[in-house]
Homo-oligomer: A and B are copies of this chain.
Amino acid sequence: MEMRLIKSRSNSKATGAAMLYPVSVTVSSADTSLSFDTDESYTLSTSKEGAKLEATSVFGALRGIETFRQLVKRHLFSVDVNCSVSISDSPRFAVRGLLIDTARHFLPISLILENLDLMEMNKLNVLHWHVVDDQSFPFESDFAEHLSEGAFSPSLRFSKENVKKVIDEAYVRGIIVMPEFDTPGHTLSWGKGYPSLLTSCSDGSFGPFNPLNEDLYPFMQGFLQEVVDTFPTSYIHLGGDEVSFDCWESNDNITAWMKQQGWTNYAKLEGYYVQKIVDIVEKTLKHKYLVWQEVFNNNITLSSDAVVDVWKGTDWATLSAVTEKGYKAVFSGGYYLDHLNTSPDFFDGWEFYATDPQGFNGTQAQKDLVIGGKAAMWGEHVDVTNFIPRVWPRTSCVGERLWSAADVTDQADAEVRLHEFRCGQVAMGFNVEPLGPGSFCDIAGYA
């Protein structure tokens, strides 16, 4: 494969003369599958004669092309383009993700696709799609078609066709779409179409899934089968966070059953449900999964390839405990985009930049079990009107932390590069917000 790029020569800038600059791209493997195990490494060398990009996989080549784009953009009109560059690059972490939340507010497909472009520029490879939550259920299910009655409105739903569009557009950018259907909490919207899934609380309201409803498990098996059939990813996210016990405690049937079991701690009831679900996914669906950290903290027996998603801030104790037990972990807690520090002279992306997923005390073997991290854009205050500037460029800081070597920590150096990177994105029409006071892009109308 060979690309030919039209390049303006620095010494012919005024006349607009250009020459062809050959870029050869070589991919050694015909495997085009995309997973956490995909080899994204590449080598790139440039000289006066052209550029040579070599990678094992097409996705490694994609990463190299992005690097090449950034090099060309930076040096197109300077003599530096004549310098030899030799790059051997690969990601430090296999999982470099961004969580989007389409339940607290709906996000239109056009926005999700725009966001994929920015993810690719930042070499992120996992879109963690938190599809549904208490507030809405925008996913159209064929298995249980009443579920989407939990959408805000019929026009605010994701059809299978639109989901496929996201998956396909993500794939060609080297991005895995990892869906999360969070249970047994955060599920009120499921009850719009299927009220019996939920626990009836004594005050007449509804609570989390009712683990004693034995119909729940075949329902979830059928639904999760549809999920794994829809999303071609080896890992799905099963949620399992923030289950409130108030409603369970108020329900007479549940109280009686707990007594019968001799249980007083409702975490055991939560575990009863979660254990059944993870077993269904592992043993019946033969699928791999992630869970939020509560599931681990609650002593559930996980499959050996399960990944624990640590989200409670910089919870080094849990990261240490998870990896000590030999489980894999991803670290989200350090990169919560919904937390926003608006101090006048501070860009809070640098807090993300300074937070290393392996920041806990542990052996090298433990640290190697941390397979990545994710920025998380929980949607309580975010929809199409403000998503892009809230997510970017802060997530760029997470992107570099997860791709680059652990010792790439010079904020002053990163600031110069990030500002330039941001201005390039603004020039392309993305509403990527500024890094702090006094920064400006020299584009008429922007700053």
Are A440 and B106 also in contact (CB < 8 A) when A386-B431, A389-B389 are?
yes
Cα–Cα distance between A431 and B389 once the two chains are bound (Å): 12
Which residues of B sit under 8 angstroms from A306, Cβ to Cβ?
Answer: none
CA of A436 to CA of B386 in the docked complex: distance in angstroms? Answer: 13
**With an 8 A cutoff between CB atoms, is A363 at the interface?**
no
Q: Of B104, B378, B385, B432, which is within 8 A of A432 by CB?
A: B385
The contact of A344 among B338, B386, B434, by CB within 8 Å, is B338
For the complex, count residues of A whose C-beta is within 8 A of B. 48
Interface assignment of A381: CB less than 8 Å from any CB of chain B = yes
**Which one of B106, B338, B446 contacts A342 once the chains associate, using CB atoms below 8 Å?**
B338
- Cα separation A265 to B226 with both chains bound (whole Å): 75
Q: Does A229 contact B (CB under 8 A)?
A: no
List A residues 406-447 near B (Cβ within 8 Å).
Answer: 426, 431-434, 436-440, 442-447
Q: Verify if A169 is at the interface (C-beta below 8 Å from B).
A: no
Specify which of B386, B437, B444 is in contact with A104 (CB 8 Å cutoff): B437
Given contacts A382-B434, A383-B446, A384-B447, 12 further A-B contacts (CB under 8 A): A104-B437, A105-B437, A105-B438, A108-B446, A152-B447, A344-B380, A344-B381, A379-B437, A381-B434, A383-B447, A385-B388, A385-B426
Q: Are A135 and B434 in contact (CB under 8 A)?
A: no
B445 touches A153 (CB 8 A): no
* 4 tightest A-B CB contacts, nearest first: A106-B447, A386-B389, A108-B445, A135-B438
Contact A433 B345 (CB under 8 A): no
Q: Which residues of B contact A385 (CB under 8 A)?
A: 388-389, 426, 431-434, 446
Q: Report the nearest B residue to A344, measured CB to CB.
A: B380
A206 to chain B minimum Cβ distance, whole angstroms, is 15
Residues of B within 8 Å of A389, CB to CB, are 385-386, 389
Which residue in chain B gives the minimum CB-CB distance to A337?
Answer: B342
Kindly list chain B residues whose C-beta atoms are within 8 Å of the C-beta of A212: none
Is A261 positioned at the interface, with any CB of B under 8 Å from its CB?
Answer: no
For A386, the closest partner residue in chain B by CB is B389
A155 to B440, CA, bound (A): 11
Q: Given A381-B433, A434-B381, A445-B384, are A152 and B342 also a contact pair (CB < 8 Å)?
A: no
Bound complex: CA of A69 vs CA of B107, how far in Å? 29
A340 interfacial by beta-carbon distance below 8 Å = yes
- Proximity bits, A10-44, B CB within 8 Å = 1, else 0: 00000000000000000000000000000000000
Contact with B along A373-406 (1 / 0, CB 8 A): 0000011111111101110000000000000000
Q: Which of A220-270 contact B (CB under 8 A)?
A: none
A148 interface hit (Cβ, 8 Å) = no
| 30 contacts across the A-B interface (CB closer than 8 A) | A104-B437, A105-B437, A105-B438, A105-B440, A107-B447, A110-B445, A134-B438, A152-B442, A152-B447, A153-B440, A155-B442, A155-B443, A155-B444, A156-B447, A339-B342, A340-B340, A342-B381, A344-B378, A344-B381, A345-B380, A347-B381, A380-B437, A381-B436, A384-B431, A384-B447, A385-B426, A385-B446, A386-B389, A386-B390, A389-B389
Give CA–CA (A153, B443) in the complex, Å: 9
Q: Mark A103-128, 1 if CB is under 8 A from B, else 0.
A: 01111101000000000000000000
Beta-carbon nearest neighbor of A102 in chain B:
B447
A366 lies within 8 A of chain B by Cβ: no
